[in-house]
A and B are shown apart, each in its own frame.
Chain A
Amino acid sequence: MSAEHAAAQQGVTSGEYIAHHLTYFNSIGGKQQAIIDWSVINYDSVFFSIALAVIASLVMWLVARRASAGIPGRVQGAVEMLVEMVIDQTKGVIHSAESRKFVAPLGLTIFIWVFLMNAMDFLPVDLLPNIWRGIYGAAGHDAHHAYLRAVPTADINITMGMSLTVLLICLYYNVKIKGIGGWAHELVTAPFGTSKNPVVAVILGFVNFAMQLIEFVSKTISHGMRLFGNMFAGELLFMLIALMGAAWTGANVPSVLFFIGDLVAALAWAIFHILVVALQAFIFMMLTLVYIGQAHEGH
């Protein structure tokens, strides 16, 4: 509810409210102008993603250190279920036991990390930005420029960074499993095969290579964009719902209706979002496993 009061007290329009909440706390101290600007660093996304990774690692380390072979406690049981789920999924997709030693922990890391980053959406949209505004103002800066976005996966840089890393791992396994020559051979022969006629073979080689290139690019982009799109749309909807409560002008009928609408819509969307958060984390992990599994299969 702090959203509505903050918005009403400071007299910002709904457009300014949304724009303020969609601006990162970055190294240029304002909205990024160009669509692609390599010199900008979003400190908030970096901070929250690393902080969540540290928290997750600490919790998992504590559970692993206190794990017992006897009757497991609740936390240990939950973590064991999670680990077994990931191992089961990995076994279904990747058949090389040696690769699984690296890929299964990778899948677990991705699942927990993405889940926690997505779950930042459940905090009220104004909680962390308002705390940050207080700190920023207390430190002697202009509190109106205290920007903060709490959901790292609603930052396309984070999701595309993760999907690019997955692409690099796929390329590594392509080379490792098939060898440089084997992989190069697959690149020019894979979807459509080749021919004995040298002219046709060269043409088919170009077509095959183009198809492979398109496949890699579209896999990587859709992998990152899927997570980003879900989380960005979710975050934006929470903000739009918060604007309904911001229409409060006093104890009159429209204000009360907006207030009730805010509560109902926020509750409904938050419940649906629990599904989205868990599902997207699971899908990101499964697709990582599937893509790495594809790198293991020859055509």
Chain B
Amino acid sequence: MDQVNGLVALACGLIIGLGANGACIGIGMMGGKYLDSSARQPELMNALQVKMFLLIGLIDAAFIIGTGIALWFGTSTFLK
């Protein structure tokens, strides 16, 4: 049982950690590009902002789904 608990803990950490890596890199790159482009063309700022938030949601999705699954694994294993 201890081994199962340990493996679930590792798996939850990997699911959240690797997912967070990808999502953070993606959102960071996009945020930087957004700042770049709105500094060049401030009149496009509002139109780009809507699209950026939409894409944040899209990029975040895989990470959030993973977090939800990891939290579910974690709570159903450790909080019995």
List the interface of chain A (C-beta within 8 A of B).
13-15, 18-19, 22, 89, 222, 225-226, 228-230, 232-233, 236-237, 279-280, 282-283, 286
- Alpha-carbon separation in the docked complex, A279 to B57 (Å): 7
What residues of chain B lie closer than 8 Å to A286, measured between beta carbons? 54
- Alpha-carbon separation in the docked complex, A229 to B68 (Å): 5
Contact of B54 among A229, A233, A236, A283 (CB under 8 A): A283
Q: Does chain A have a CB within 8 A of B39?
A: no
What residues of chain A lie closer than 8 Å to B64, measured between beta carbons? 226, 229-230, 233
Query: Do residues B68 and A233 form an inter-chain contact, with CB atoms below 8 A?
Result: yes
What residues of chain A lie closer than 8 Å to B69, measured between beta carbons? 229
- Alpha-carbon separation in the docked complex, A199 to B61 (Å): 40
Q: Given A14-B79, A18-B75, A232–B56 Cβ distance below 8 Å? A: no
Q: Give A239 Cβ to nearest chain B Cβ, in Å.
A: 9
Q: Give A81 Cβ to nearest chain B Cβ, in Å.
A: 14
Q: Given A279-B56, A282-B53, A229–B79 Cβ distance below 8 Å? A: no
A282 and chain B: residue at smallest CB distance: B53
What residues of chain A lie closer than 8 Å to B71, measured between beta carbons? 232-233, 236-237
- Alpha-carbon separation in the docked complex, A280 to B67 (Å): 16
29 A-B pairs (CB sep. < 8 Å): A13-B79, A14-B79, A15-B79, A15-B80, A19-B75, A19-B79, A89-B50, A222-B65, A226-B61, A226-B65, A228-B68, A229-B61, A229-B66, A229-B67, A229-B68, A230-B64, A232-B68, A233-B64, A233-B68, A233-B71, A236-B71, A236-B72, A237-B71, A279-B56, A279-B57, A282-B54, A282-B57, A283-B54, A283-B58
B74 and chain A: residue at smallest CB distance: A236
B79 and chain A: residue at smallest CB distance: A15
What residues of chain A lie closer than 8 Å to B54, measured between beta carbons? 282-283, 286
Query: Do residues A236 and B75 form an inter-chain contact, with CB atoms below 8 A?
Result: yes
Q: Give B47 Cβ to nearest chain A Cβ, in Å.
A: 9
What residues of chain A lie closer than 8 Å to B80, measured between beta carbons? 15, 19
What residues of chain B lie closer than 8 Å to A237, measured between beta carbons? 71
What residues of chain A lie closer than 8 Å to B79, measured between beta carbons? 13-15, 18-19
What residues of chain A lie closer than 8 Å to B62, measured between beta carbons? 222
Q: Give B76 Cβ to nearest chain A Cβ, in Å.
A: 8
B80 and chain A: residue at smallest CB distance: A15
- Alpha-carbon separation in the docked complex, A222 to B80 (Å): 30
Query: Do residues A229 and B65 form an inter-chain contact, with CB atoms below 8 A?
Result: yes
Query: Do residues B57 and A280 form an inter-chain contact, with CB atoms below 8 A?
Result: yes
- Alpha-carbon separation in the docked complex, A89 to B46 (Å): 13
Query: Do residues A225 and B61 form an inter-chain contact, with CB atoms below 8 A?
Result: yes
Q: Give A291 Cβ to nearest chain B Cβ, in Å.
A: 13
- Alpha-carbon separation in the docked complex, A15 to B61 (Å): 27
- Alpha-carbon separation in the docked complex, A226 to B59 (Å): 10
What residues of chain B lie closer than 8 Å to A280, measured between beta carbons? 57
Query: Do residues B75 and A225 form an inter-chain contact, with CB atoms below 8 A?
Result: no
Q: Give A124 Cβ to nearest chain B Cβ, in Å.
A: 20
Query: Do residues A279 and B53 form an inter-chain contact, with CB atoms below 8 A?
Result: yes
For window 30-80 of chain B, which residues contact chain A by CB distance below 8 Å?
A: 50, 53-54, 56-58, 60-62, 64-69, 71-72, 75, 78-80
Identify the interface centre among A22, A225, A229: most chain B CB within 10 Å of its CB: A229
Contact of A283 among B57, B65, B68 (CB under 8 A): B57
